[in-house]
């Protein structure tokens, strides 16, 4: 009996200690969140430098989510930064007399090429003010160097590395592994270029897939070379020669002598240069302000825009999924409600939909398309494309009055597919059997442990074909052309924004500011203000929402980093619509 009480007391004490530790952990976490969400006024001193540290993931829109910031800090991950805040800060700094110039550290930039172009063009516009832009890094990735090349001076650590080698796009195929496992992937698609299914049924790229990849990769590389050439004064042939030489592994002086950089220096030496430019004594610290601080800072003598008329920017970023509740990526219900709200708001005179999506559920895309169509009937609607607006991302864009893309945006991919695995071979190998009772001949369709009958295959393919006809019909109506002409540039083919101009998938090249200016002209607006939708929730509301469920996704993203996208795609395909309008693959162009 004495042992019972000993163990009982140990359990009780252990439980109390655990509860105390958990409670303290929650309080510490909440305290960190409250501290992270504090809105103390930012004081920008005269002769300040705007510091742009872009060694972080860049989303279309920053939400100042304190939970994400705390989780990122706990995991040692960089905090997410919003493209909207970056662009707004650069634009504001151009007119702010207190800001003397911009110092940029972006050597490990991970953004897409179109996002980089948005920032790069903003920097080029900033330089028109006569203010300087300096860039420094210990390591420049190729994308990071493309951005840095817009600076007046580009510096590299003497022991650093600079990647400049041309663009590659690699594809992985699983057919051989699946055959060894005894798994057959039953594929239904429309479009010779719709290559999302190729990794499961082939061991190399099809001729069609190779052609489309060569086309858009070549387009992106040529655009990159033109930008660097204009900024650095180097010829295209010279840049290709540098890329062929694999500059990253050449001797220290190679990069300077070939003209890619302005010097090999240490950070303290760059800071001394900045002090001289800003008129700061060498024994004093620079007056520096970060993007995160400066985005919300007031500018003296700059009047707040209180115009009644508005242009609404609605953000659509991520994979497209079905649902009514807020979630990761683009969820059909919440986005549709946001578009509908903007349509019904009489003070909103035009809508800009900012799309950065590889697609996803075909049904969800159709639901969003309907709201876009209704919005266009009520007021001007312009689409601004980010890094990618393809397949379902193009589906939700095609109804707009005007579509604007960056030259290196990936778009098109007008096609659909469905996949159902047949694991009967695997089950046989490991000795697993199944049996079933059905009331009708297709009651168990789709089943992953038997092959489709010929009748079932024909029925499934017919459904895919029908959805494709609907898809190209939507595109034809939106682009004021015929389904036949859309089919000629469709069939799942991916195009760069520059390519898409000539085939009537895009109206003009430009960024988000161009889209806003276009919307204003269409609505005959001279005095207006821009509002972002949906409205951001308060830090407390955000915290409670994250603690009620979204925290798991935040932790997964922080722990998995770039691999989180792969996990999310797998989960989406497992539980999503049987018909997918998405990019051919998880694209990584580097």
Summarised one tens digit per residue, pLDDT across range 337-354 is: 999 999 999 999 999 999
Q: Which residues of 282-300 are buried (b: 16+ CB within 10 A; e: fewer)?
A: eeeebbbbebbbbbebeee
CA–CA gap between residue 417 and residue 464 (Å, rounded): 7
Instruction: Please confirm whether the linkage preceding 540 is cis (ω < 30° from 0).
Output: no
Contact 295, 61 (CB under 8 A): no
Cα–Cα distance for residue pair 55/564, rounded to 1 Å: 18
- Please name every residue paired with 185 in a beta bridge, in sequence order, or none if there are none: 421
What tens digit of pLDDT does each residue of 226-282 get? 999 999 999 999 999 999 999 888 887 899 999 999 999 999 999 999 999 999 998
Query: Rounded to an integer, what distance in angstroms lies between the CA atom of residue 231 and that of residue 541?
Result: 45
Q: Is 357 a catalytic residue?
A: no
Task: Name the catalytic one among 79, 194, 275, 568.
Answer: 194
Alpha-carbon distance 78 to 139, whole Å?
A: 17
pLDDT of 191 reads 79
CA distance linking residue 589 with residue 112, whole number of Å = 8
How far apart CA 281 and CA 260 sit, in angstroms, is 30
**Structure tokens of 142?**
């190729």
Residue identified by tokens 């309907």 is: 370
Inter-CA distances, 100 with 48, 287, 430, Å? 6, 10, 69
Report the C-alpha gap between 486 and 474 in whole angstroms. 10
Q: For residues 189 and 464, is the Cβ–Cβ distance under 8 A?
A: yes
From the candidate CATH numbers 3.90.1200.10, 3.30.465.10, 3.90.226.10, 3.40.50.460, the one assigned to the domain spanning 310-538: 3.90.226.10
Question: Around Cβ 25, how many Cβ atoms within 10 Å?
Answer: 10
- Please give the biggest Cα pair distance in the chain: 89
DSSP label of 328: S
Strands (E), 337-405: 348-357, 359-361, 381-390, 402-405
CA–CA dist 100, 270 (Å, integer): 15
Give the predicted TM-score (pTM) of the model. Answer: 0.84
Nearest to 64 by CA among 464, 532, 572: 532
Going by CATH, does the domain composed of 48-165+246-294 fall within 3.90.226.10? yes
In the prediction, which pLDDT does 535 show? 81
- Cα(32)–Cα(342) distance, integer angstroms: 35
Q: Which residues of the chain have pLDDT under 70?
A: 1-41, 63-78, 537-590
Nearest C-alpha neighbor of 191 from the set 589, 584, 587 = 584
Is there a contact between 439 and 517 (Cβ–Cβ < 8 Å)? no
- The Cα–Cα gap between 409 and 390 comes to 9
Task: Work out the number of other CB atoms within 10 angstroms of the CB of residue 151.
Answer: 24
H-run or E-run covering 100: strand 99-105
Q: Which one, of 195, 274, 4, 279, lies nearest residue 580 by Cα?
A: 195
User: To 10 degrees, what angle do helices 564-575 and 551-560 make?
Assistant: 130
> Cis ω on the peptide bond leading into residue 368 (within 30° of 0)?
no
Query: What does the alpha-carbon distance between residue 208 and residue 205 come to, in Å, rounded to a whole number?
Result: 8
User: What are the extents of the domains in the chain?
Assistant: 48-165+246-294, 310-538
Is 194 noted as a catalytic residue in this protein? yes
Q: Name the percent of the chain in helix, strand, coil, to the closest 5.
A: 50, 20, 35
3-state class of 537 per DSSP? coil
Which of 37, 135, 332, 391 is an active site residue? Answer: 391
d(CA 494, CA 588): 14
- The rounded distance, in Å, linking the Cα atoms of 205 and 184 is 19
Match 């935040």 to its residue by tokens: 554
């Amino acid at each position: 009996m004495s042992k019972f009480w000993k163990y009982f007391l140990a359990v009780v004490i252990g439980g109390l200690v655990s509860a105390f530790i958990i409670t303290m952990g929650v309080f510490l976490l909440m305290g960190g969140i409250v501290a992270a969400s504090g809105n103390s006024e930012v004081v920008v001193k005269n002769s300040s430098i705007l510091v742009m540290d872009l060694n972080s993931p860049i989303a279309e829109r920053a939400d100042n989510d304190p939970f994400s910031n705390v989780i990122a800090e706990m995991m040692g991950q960089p905090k997410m930064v919003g493209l909207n805040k970056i662009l707004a800060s650069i634009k504001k700094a151009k007119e702010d007399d207190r800001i003397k110039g911009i110092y940029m550290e972006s050597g490990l930039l991970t953004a897409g090429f179109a996002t980089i172009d948005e920032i790069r063009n903003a920097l080029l516009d900033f330089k028109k003010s006569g203010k300087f832009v300096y860039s420094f890094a210990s390591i420049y990735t190729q994308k990071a160097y493309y951005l840095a090349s817009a600076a007046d001076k580009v510096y590299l650590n003497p022991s650093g590395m600079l990647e400049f080698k041309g663009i590659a796009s690699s594809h992985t195929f699983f057919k051989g592994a699946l055959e060894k496992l005894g798994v057959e992937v039953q594929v239904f698609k429309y479009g010779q270029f719709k290559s999302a299914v190729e990794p499961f049924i082939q061991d190399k790229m099809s001729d069609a897939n190779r052609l489309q990849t060569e086309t858009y990769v070549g387009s992106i590389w040529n655009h990159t070379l033109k930008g660097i050439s204009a900024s650095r004064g180097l010829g295209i042939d010279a840049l290709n020669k540098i890329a062929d030489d694999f500059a990253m592994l050449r001797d220290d002086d190679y990069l300077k002598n070939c003209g890619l950089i302005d010097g090999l220096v240490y950070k303290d030496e760059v800071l001394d240069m900045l002090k001289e430019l800003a008129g700061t004594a060498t024994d004093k610290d620079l007056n520096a302000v970060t993007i995160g601080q400066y985005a919300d800072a007031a500018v003296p003598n700059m009047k707040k825009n209180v115009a009644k008329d508005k242009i609404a920017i609605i953000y659509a970023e991520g994979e497209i999924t079905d649902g009514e509740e807020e979630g990761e990526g683009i969820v059909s219900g919440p986005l549709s409600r946001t578009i509908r709200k903007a349509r019904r708001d009489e003070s909103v005179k035009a809508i800009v939909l900012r799309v950065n999506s590889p697609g996803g559920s075909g049904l969800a895309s159709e639901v969003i398309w309907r709201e876009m169509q209704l919005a266009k009937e009520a007021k001007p609607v312009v689409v601004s494309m980010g890094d990618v607006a393809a397949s379902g991302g193009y589906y939700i864009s095609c109804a707009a009055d005007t579509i604007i893309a960056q030259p290196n945006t990936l778009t098109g991919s007008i096609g659909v597919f469905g996949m159902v695995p047949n694991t009967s071979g695997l089950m046989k190998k490991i000795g697993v059997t199944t049996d079933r009772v059905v009331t009708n001949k297709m009651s168990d369709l789709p089943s992953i442990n038997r092959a489709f009958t010929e009748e079932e295959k024909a029925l499934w393919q017919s459904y895919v074909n029908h959805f494709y006809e609907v898809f190209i019909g939507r595109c034809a109506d939106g682009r004021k052309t015929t389904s036949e002409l859309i089919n000629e540039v469709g069939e799942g083919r991916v195009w760069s924004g520059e390519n898409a101009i000539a085939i009537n998938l895009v109206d003009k090249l430009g960024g988000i500011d161009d889209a806003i200016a276009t919307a204003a002209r269409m609505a005959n607006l001279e005095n207006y203000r821009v509002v972002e939708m949906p409205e951001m929730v308060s830090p407390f509301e955000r915290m409670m929402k994250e603690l009620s469920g979204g925290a798991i996704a935040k932790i997964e993203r922080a722990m998995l980093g770039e691999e989180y996208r792969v996990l999310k795609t797998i989960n989406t395909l497992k539980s999503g619509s049987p018909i997918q309008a998405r990019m051919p693959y998880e694209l990584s162009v580097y």
